[in-house]
Structure formats: structure tokens, C-alpha cells
Structure 1
Amino acid sequence: MSREPVTSTLLDLLERGAAEHPALLEPGQPSLSYAALRTSVRTLAGQLQAAGIGRGDRVAIALGNGPEMVLAFLAVASVASAAPLNPKYRADEFAFYYEDTNAKALLVLPGTLEAARAALLPGMRLIEVLPDPDHGIVLDLPAAPFQADQAAQPDDVAMILHTSGTTSRPKRVPIRHRNLATSATNIIETYQLGPADRALCVMPLFHIHGIVASLLSTLASGGTLICPSGFDALRFWGWVEAYQPTWYSAVPTMHQLLLARAERNMAVIRAHPLRFIRSSSAPLPPVVMERLEATFGAPVLESYGMTEASHQMASNPLPPAPRKAGSVGVGIGVDVAIMDAEGHMLPVGERGEVVVRGGNVVDGYENNPEANANAFTHGWFRTGDQGYLDNAGYLHLTGRIKELINRGGEKISPLEIDDVLLRHPAVAEALAFAVPHPTLGEDVHAAVVLNTPVSEKELREHCTRSLADFKVPRQIHVLESLPRGATGKLQRITMAKTLGITE
């Protein structure tokens, strides 16, 4: 059953950690206790309030991973609405997001991000984040006491994010404190997180996955967040050895990069075993799950997340409950169902659109009634993903509806083809995709990155042993790398265009 909204704010979540317990660890720096974290967030929040920033205002944050980003995000969300942005954006991209969110200010580190500064709109305030030995960071604003009576409430928007917008203008997703608190609570329940847990944060903290799964669920459970400056497949093993995390959450691309270096780091893996590994934000090919479990000796739990649901919608549970390769698990605190195009619920085993509801799901897109009419049916949020539920209630995804390959009326899941190609020992990465076809409408192609030479003919023959003929890629393109978005998500829907393939 879905959980009713947890009527807490992010400040409330921070109160759960024991005062002297380490809340935040940055490699090479002293740890920050929960008492110091709470003091720092309130100090920053008071500075923002005194500068005239309050409930309903939007504040852009362009900071890399690290304690500065954690503290700045929590402080902004406590008194206004945070708009975390990818620090790698170009000036025109910053300008778009400032304007689209009606940002009142921008937070950056001194001497960084000229593109973000150059794009400031008239009336926007530039606020620099400064290091401080007592509080972790302060802002280049006058000190002022925190006004608790003016702080954000559970119904206030804590964070404004955007959909990826691959085919149209990105939509604004306002995520309220109660949505984030509910999602963090669901994640804590799913993985039985507690004060003894240490999460290694490798996902970017401008992304819902990093913010909710790594940051908020850890701090709301009283655990410790290990927060390096970003993902680094070379330095990862040193962090594991030094800080002994109990888990980490990442996208499949990151898991694959770690697998490529795991063999030379087996001593670290054996000396510091993880309690579990979490995967989300993109489909995890079953073969990658199998290799991860064999290498790390820890359960790999694939989950299912989306910005509009404040990240987690379903997950494979911890042992002894079964975890199923190729499934994203069950809804925990979230209702998950399958719906047809007309809005009718479908029975177990039938494919249709995945729909969800619960206190973690946002109320709707901002100022976009047309998008809301399309996205919500009878109180259920339509995810845009196709899938089915098995007899045990586990959700199996068969692909984004807009990414399914429609070859002469046959609907083909590219995920199935990805997994088959990845089982060939020469293939490091694989991505099946649709290309235009004059008579079939669409045909199947695939792109691969190889770790040893192999012919296209051999790869196609490998596919024919596991796939029906109409699913076998008509052409397999060998690339140096696969195109990815800012968070490592593969860009399947634009592949034909990227490679210049037309009818």
C-alpha cells in the first residue's frame, strides 16, 4: 500500500541523527557531526533570510559534489526552493534555467563557473559560498539569526527540477518537502538503513538520484554520508578502504566502470564488504547484475526511480526476500499498477504503461495543465514506461514506450537486445535502438563498445542464438563510446540521429 505523505521538512529529517555521530565525511577532511551539520544549515539559512530570500523564492545552485553542495542545498531548501543545476552547463543553458525557474539568486564557489556568472539575469543576486572552519561553509552575506517561524513548511516546494526534455521543452517539476520526506522514508524502509550505515555518494547532487537516494535517505536515517567531489573509478577503491561504506547507489554505467577495475582491487573488496549495492535511473542488464554480485559478494538491488516520484517507485528488497534479475522489484510505500491507453487497469502478466501513486509523487508539473492532463489518470501518475507485474508483484520493465522499436507492427524491447549483446565476451557496452525504415516503419540497429575485436557477423550470429529473427539487429555499429547525458544515462532515443541514419 502507498504511504500517506510524511509531513516533515528537510530540517525535520536532519533532527534524527545523534548529535556527535558523523553526518558528513569528505575524503581528506575532518568529519562534520550531526550537531555541526544542523548548526551550519541554520547559520546559512539565517544569512539567506536576512538577504531577503524566503518561502516561494527560487535559488539556483551550481556547485560540484562535496559538503559545500550538501550544506548549501539543505539551507536553501529550508527557507526557499533550491534549483540545483549541472555545473557543466553552457552559459545559454544556465540562462534558460534561471529564466524558467525565475531564480532570485545563484550560489557558486569563488572563482568558478564563469559561464554561470555570465548568464545571470537582471536582478539576480550572486552569492559566493566560502569555506569556514567552524561551520563547514558560510555565504558572503552578513550573519543573522535563523528565523524558524519563517522556515519552509511540509507543503512548500523544497526543490525545482526539470524533466530531461529529449523531445520537447523540459517541464518544471516542483517537489515538496513532504514528497522528499516520503521518498526518503520509503528508501530507509526498503534497505533498512540506520546509523551504522555509511553511504558512498557517487551520483551527482544536482540529480534526484543523488539528492534523495544517497543524501536525504542517509541523513534521515542517522547514517553517515561519504561525499567525495564526484565519481572516480580510480579513486573509488581508496575511498572504500579509508571510509568503509556499507552501500552505494549508482547508474549502470558507473557499475560497469567499477567492474572493469574490480579485478585489480579484489583485496579491498574482500577486506571491506558492502552490505548491498543499489542500481537505479537506467535499466541494469541482468548480466551486469550477475557480474557485480559475483565480484563484490553483495546483493545487487535494482530499483526504479523518476523525478516526478521524488525518485524511488519500486525496488528489489534485501535478502532473504527474492531479488530478480531483469525486474525493478516491488513498490515499497508506493502503489504500482499497469494501465492501458484508455486508463483501464490490466491484470497480472499483461503489458501496459506503468502507473504509480503515493505520497512521494508530485502534485503535477508547474503551470502546465496540458502535461498534467496527459500524465495523471484517476490519481495515478503515468510513467511513460511499459512493463508488467508478475504473480509475486514484481515489476518488469520492457522499455520506455517512446523507445520501443515498432518493426512492421512487432513491438520490440531494446533492453532485451542490450542484454544479449552484453553476454558476448567481446562486448563492453551495448545499446539497441530504432532507425527509420521505408516499409517497416522502424528497424533494429545496435551500437557497441568492444573490449576485444570481433566481427559484426559474429555478433549478429550470437544474437540469433537467443533472439527471434525480427529482433536481431540489422546492423551493429562499433563505437569508441556511447553517447550519454549528464548523469550517465544512455541516449537511446537520439542514437539514429547521432549516427546520421535516415530512411
Structure 2
Amino acid sequence: MTSNFAFAALQRAYSQPDATAFSAERKVSYQRFADLTVNFARRLEALGVGRDATVALAIQDLPLAIAAVTAVGLLGARWVQLADIAPATFPGTTHVLTSGAGAERPGGIAIDPNWLDAGVSTEAALTGFAGAATPDATWMIAHSSGTTGKLKYMPLSYEAVGRRIANPELQDGAPPTTLTLFSPLSYIGAKIGTGNLVLGGTNAQWAPWEQLLAGGVNRIMGSPAQFTSAIFSRTAPPARKIRSAKVTGAAVTQKFVETALRYFDELYVLYGATEVGTTTLAVYTDAAQYNGSAGHPYEGAVVEILDADGRPCPAGTEGMVRVKTDWAVPGYIGEPELTAAYFQDGWFHPGDLGTLDSTGALTITGRTGDVINAGGRKLNAAELDEIIQAHSEVQDGYCFIDRDQFGADVLAVVLALTPTANPSCLAEIRDAAIAKLGKSKSPQRFYIAAKVPRNENGKPMRREAAAGVGGYVLIEV
């Protein structure tokens, strides 16, 4: 595959023009996708987009979003998602391309009907586009999860994205017909959307379960919270399963594995970060296999566990995780201090705590920044989160620090419950926390929400939970 996967995706399109690139209420063939992409590229080029341009995108429609990012690739330019989590525009943005809900953005270039009125193109059209100057040129300016309150931007090169597309979570031995629960312009959404096309697969959009099966969907990708809210809480365990679920963004629980395998033949658990891509992979086909592991590193990835002095820990000893991959970003844009803190001697330090067993399998046990201090009582938040999420009547939930009327810390929980949940489940969660962690580390308040706040990668947003308590229902236990 060429290091510029945009050309690889279009070459694939011209080799199978009648195949389905996107399936939903309206199907988009590979030929139609190629025509749209070439038209988008020509229009962007006429607006001055070239190798030095940075295009901010606010596009809701999946086919149009992937056509836009692929068009940017044909021109060798850069793009950045224009989302609610991000500032109005990324510094250095030269153009803003919008559609749908993003069309009101100031200075935005709207995708109007002329952009969609694309004539039939051929592979010869690709010779008219320059592509990236070098493989290490930036294609996507991705941003971190923002869970720390400090949004960090990073450059993903054409070569790095091509390497990530070649990783096993995409290439697992079956033609990919994939539904991703991530937004199309998120890092994961864009990687999956373009990667499916490079591999000759289909990007599916949400539909009822039987329609997904009829459309040939063989894998769904999302975070644990996205699977729970979009699938498990809406669809009863089906008579016919989809081949695989691929979950990333947070650790999975025994309950999650048991539930997922009622819907899917296989469960892929992926660990990684935008900074280094997917790093480890565990595959479950039976809930009895679950041991909390995130699996073994891919070829080209190395994981180590360090003690407080920065020395490698023995197998089974908890310490700080560090990761090295062949497809990592070089650091954060305009943030030399943060780059120095997280990237050291070729290693990325994600802030996770974990262990490696004697076979090299990684288990994440928490985060260095997720130690909650409630009135002097320190708690690894992941321990309490696991107890919360293990309850059968909890759709989603996690702990956070609230404040009482005097400003003192209170350990609280925000929950989304199943429609048939019994109020006694809250006392059961509290009692389970007392039994495992002790009374001083059990929750003092329970808030019920329609949806708990998570970022687009599915990670808990504990500050937002604390700020949003006025919109939750407080239940006394």
C-alpha cells in the first residue's frame, strides 16, 4: 500500500466501482465515492487548498466526511475536526469546510449541491493531484481526549495512519463491513472509515440489528459505554449474532464481556491511545476466558511497566505503563513542556497503571491521575468504577468527587440505569463497595442521569459529572 492511503482508497474504488462503499438508507458505491472525492479535491484546490493548507471540518454525514478527508489526502494537505470539544478553529487553520449542523460556522465553506453534482471520474484523475510532499507530512491533526481539562493536539502523518490501518483491528481475515459508533471525524472514526475503503470493505451506518445482519455487517467498533447505550440497552440479545465486536477507550468488565458475547461471536479488546495507536489486543470467544487482560502487544509495539524510580517491574507487579510503537506521533503541537512530560526517549507515558504477566499480557489497573482524594481517603477510581459497572441493572456509571453544602469532598456516583432497575440496586452497589474497598471508600451520594458524560472516545469526564449534578436526580441510600 502506498504511504498515502487516500490514493490507495481511490485505486481500490476504481478496481471495484460497483461495490458498496457505504450502506445505510442510501447506498454509496465505490464509483460514487470516488467521484465525490475527486470533485471535493478539485473544489478545495480551486479554493487554495494545497500542501500548506489546514482544513477544519464540521461534517455530520459519514460518506461526505470520509470523502472530505480523502480529498484532503489527495492534495497533501492537513485537516482537523471542528467539534464542540475543540476551540472555534485550530491555530493555523486556512479553510473551514462545513455541512449540516456545522454550516453556520463563521467563515465556513458550505458543501452545497454543486459539491455533490460530481461527474464520473476515472483512475487517470489521480495523476492530477500532488499528494503529500513526504510520507511524514501531517494528514490529520488529532486531539487528545480532554479528560484532564487540557486539550492536546498532535500531528498524525500519512505514513503513521497507513501503518495503523495495517494493524490487526482492521485486517482480521474477513472483508470488513464495519459499523463504528465513533463520530466520522474523530480519530478512530476517520481511521476506520478510510481504512475500510483501502481494504475494499463497506462502512455501515446505524440500523436495527436485523438490517445490520442483512447488510453483511461483520464487526461493530466502539467504546464500552457506546456499546451499552447504542446496542445492549436498545436491542435484546438476538437469535443471530454479528461476527465481532471491537471495543476500545476503556477497560471492560466481566459483565461487559458476558453481555457482548450474547450479541457477537468474538470480542476484541483493544488498548492504546491516539498518541501511539492501538497497542495491545485480546480476543474473547467465551466469557470464562476473561481475566481483565488487554492482551499482548502487536508486532511493532512494546509495553513496559515501571516502578516509581523508572525501572522495569517484575511480572505481576503494578507500576506505570509506557509504550513504544512504530506508528507513534512525535509529540504535541505547540506544547514543549507536555511533550517532554509524556514523550521520553522514544517512549510514550499515557498515565496508566498496569501489570504485565509472565506471557507479556497487559492488564490496566487504573490511571495515575485517577486517584480520587475524598477528604483524605485516596481511592483508585477504576476500582470503584468496576464495582459500579458490574451491577446488572447499571447501563453506565462511574465515581467522581462532589461537594457538600460546606464545600467538603463527597465521594459520589453518577449512573444510567436500565429501564426496569429496582431502586435497591443502589444499596447493593454501596454494599459491594464496602465489602471490597471498605466503608471509607464507598460512595456517599448517587446521582441518576439519562446519560453519563463521556468524551468521544468513551472515557469518563469526572469534572463534567461534578459540574452537571444540578441536572441529575439525587437518590438517598
| TM-score category (smaller protein) | 0.7 to 0.9
Confirm or deny that 1:180 pairs with 2:161.
yes
Which string of whole-angstrom CA distances, capped at 9 and with x for unpartnered residues, describes residues 111-140 of structure 1? 753541x3x3xxxx6252545365699xxx
Call closer, same or farther: CA 1:418–1:244 in 2, change over 3 Å.
same
TM-score, reference length from structure 1: 0.80
Is 1:24 the equivalent of 2:21? yes
Q: Output the amino acid matched with 1:245.
A: V
Shift of 1:21: 6.1
Three-state SS of the structure 2 residue aligned to 1:178 is helix
Of residues 357, 369, 375, the one that matches 2:342 is: 375
C-alpha contact (below 8 Å) 2:36/2:116 kept by paired residues: no
Task: Trace 1:16-415 onto structure 2 (pairs within 5 A).
Answer: 18-20=15-17, 22-33=19-30, 36-79=32-75, 80-86=77-83, 89=84, 96-98=87-89, 100-109=90-99, 112-116=101-105, 118=106, 120=107, 126-130=109-113, 132=116, 134=118, 147-149=128-130, 151-188=132-169, 192-194=172-174, 196-212=175-191, 214-226=192-204, 228=205, 235-257=207-229, 258-263=231-236, 266-267=238-239, 270=240, 273-293=241-261, 295-309=262-276, 311-317=277-283, 324-333=290-299, 334-406=301-373, 412-415=379-382
1:262 deviation in Å?
2.4
State the Cα RMSD in Å. 3.3
TM value normalised by structure 2: 0.84
- How far did residue 55 of structure 1 move? 0.9
Q: How many angstroms apart in 1 are the aligned matches of 2:202 and 2:253? A: 30
Distance change in 2, residues 1:347/1:378 (3 Å): farther
* 8 A Cα contact 2:266 2:283, kept in partner: no
How big is the shift at 1:185?
Answer: 0.9
In structure 2, list runs of 5 or more residues that go unmatched: 471-477
Given the alignment of the two structures, is residue 461 of structure 1 paired with residue 431 of structure 2, yes or no? yes
* Partner-residue secondary structure (3-state), 1:44: helix
Does structure 1 conserve the Cα–Cα contact (< 8 Å) formed by 2:146 and 2:455? no
Task: Return the letter of the residue paired with 1:217.
Answer: G
State the distance in 1 between where 2:189 and 2:264 align: 24
Q: Shift of residue 488 of structure 1?
A: 4.6
Answer whether contact 2:5 2:158 (CA < 8 A) is retained: yes
How far has the Cα of 1:61 moved from its partner?
0.9
| Identity between Structure 1 and Structure 2 (%) | 24
Partners of 1:239 and 1:153 lie apart in 2 by: 42
Q: Which range is displaced more, 7-16 or 277-286?
A: 7-16
Whichever residue aligns with residue 192 of structure 1, its letter is D
> Whole-Å Cα distance in 1 between the matches of residues 309 and 8 of structure 2?
40
- Aligned pair count? 456
Structure 2: which amino acid aligns with 1:359? Answer: D
The partner residue of 2:442 within 460, 472, 478 is 472
Distance 1:23 1:303 in 2: 27
Task: Structure 1 unaligned segments of length 5 or more: list them.
Answer: 1-5, 138-143
